[in-house]
Amino acid sequence: MTALGRLARAVVLPGFAGEKAPAWLQRELEAGLGGVVLFARNVRNPAQLRKLTGAIRIRPDVVVAIDEEGGDVTRLEAVRGSSVPGALALGEVDDPALTEAVATAVAGALRDVGVTHDLAPVADVNTNPRNPVIGIRSFGSDPARVGRHVAASVRGLQAGGVAACVKHFPGHGAAGVDSHHGLPTIEATPDELTRVELVPFVAAFEAGALSLMTAHIVVPALDAVPATLSRRILTGLLREELGYQGMVVTDALEMGAIASTYGMGEAAVLALAAGADALCLGHDIDTSHVALVSGAIEAAVRDGRLSEERLAEAAGRVAGSHAPTLTEEGDGPLGDVGLAAARRALQVAGNVGADGPLLVVELEGTLSVAAGPQRHDLTGVLRELGADAETLQLGCSDLSGVVAAVQARPGRRPIVVVRDVDRHSWQRCAASAVAAADPSAVVVDVGYPSAEPLCAPRVVTTFGSGRASLTAAAEVLTQGSRP
């Protein structure tokens, strides 16, 4: 392996399949690979994950990153559901000390299994209630509120010995397109960017955020190319105007917003030239993709399109991006802080608790690609608390018969679960119809709430569908009062 080849690999962070490090990954790590990004597919339990990360961390500077946002986006607890609420729930409580405590607990759990970098918190200001990819992952729609909670999360994670990675710069919250599939355009003026999108990032920088993730978005007021590939944004705005000197990692380069237009290899070169330091390669990645990207980088240096100095600078930032390690081991399980936070976030309208059998009517929405498939649900959580609960799943094609479908299971109080009603307006109609037909029905909103109240006298709003949030909802549904 040449020195240039090792340098080219030092900026690459690929994902991989399986619960053990494949042979190709071990070879790449030995050849200088900067690190990896873990997903739910890599996690079975803490003991397995410790063994996996131990095999990966063959050098002190190897990055082991993971998306552990809490709430709907969890990798450590993808099977069971997150023990802590997500950003929007914490933003609704609006207690930065609580947010910091939750982040510190998450850092302890991550360190316990050998993770060095958390690709969180989300610093996007969710100004578009129909945003298909951010939504409840954001601390809210108010820039100042989002800023103080992003800063609190950064402080908590890094005090716990895990590097925080604020995302998605310069701000994905106004998007109407999911960048996993297409390329969003953010029509904001430079003044609007300063007053809204950039506020939480500045707060994160002041809190000492060690890394930052780019957004695959176009901001015409700044540049005609995606932010991930824009020198005007990553060097001009981020480095020179805002003064940020931490590691900059790209969002995954295989995402549709980038790969379908530029290709993974070319995008890697353009991102580095623009000012990015680490190149994230996420799903469906193997040794051929690492070879493609590192080969494109080497060729760009030889051709003079990318300076070796810029590449060395990027590699140095990746290697130096770790948070100080406080102790050899982390602090273990998350404990009770998450459920306590979810209880505080819960909003309840009307008398929602009662004894008797329940019918959980799950109205099928669209989960964010970032969250992945959800393997837990409200019915399962209710049953764990001793409730007699059954599930009825309905899609938009069932709207005309939703009341009849519910009434076909008499003797059970309907609990109608809705998600992102501004994006799925049929759910509002279905929930209203069930509530009108059965006065005992309760609507449980687990998504991004609408500014327009739901037409139902009994409503529970969780601000997310992680296990902690669903448990808080299940408690009031079965007890009728806050614990």
CA separation, residue 58 to residues 31, 49, 287, 469 (Å): 11, 15, 18, 38
Of 94, 122, 117, 93, which Cα lies nearest the Cα of 107? 117
Q: CA geometry: angle at 93 spanning 92 and 95, to 5°?
A: 125
**Order of strands, sheet of 358-363, starting from the edge strand that comes earlier in the sequence:** 347-349, 459-461, 442-445, 413-418, 358-363, 389-394
Instruction: State the number of CA atoms in the 13 A half-sphere of 197 facing the CB.
Output: 24
334-355: b (≥16 Cβ within 10 Å) or e: beebbbbbbbbbbebeeebbee
> CB–CB of 152/106 below 8 Å?
no
Of 473, 466, 340, which Cα lies nearest the Cα of 70? 466
> CB–CB of 160/103 below 8 Å?
yes
Tokens of 307: 């300076």
Question: Pairing mode, if any, of strands 347-349 and 459-461?
Answer: antiparallel
Q: Which residues are the active-site residues? A: 180, 251
